[in-house]
Amino acid sequence: MGDVVRHKHFPFRGVVFDVDPVFGNTEEWWLSIPEHIRPQKDQPFYHLYAENAEQEYVAYVSEQNLERDISGEPVRHPKVAETLREDAAGMWRIHPIRLN
């Protein structure tokens, strides 16, 4: 978790905040993906704090459709700063839970 990734086919990037070991969304969602890039279901699917040029949102993307984002561009999605912390190596990690 915390990796900055880019979609291989669509112009968006994001930070991984959760992963499903295999497909965990609806059949309707899966069928809405264009057939030529529709992923197999038996692979990890990543939940991303995603962003494109116009907006920030949450995305659900198969492992086969992601690649590491090496652009070095800052991440602007507001949920990243709320839930993750950047470490010394530039990776995003989950904020530790503070118990009072």
Distance in angstroms between the alpha carbons of the first and the last residue of the chain: 26
C-alpha span between 39 and 65 (Å, rounded): 8
pLDDT score of 98:
46
pTM: 0.85
**Is residue 97 over pLDDT 70?**
no
Name the residue type at position 72. G
Q: What is the mean pLDDT of residues 46-50?
A: 96
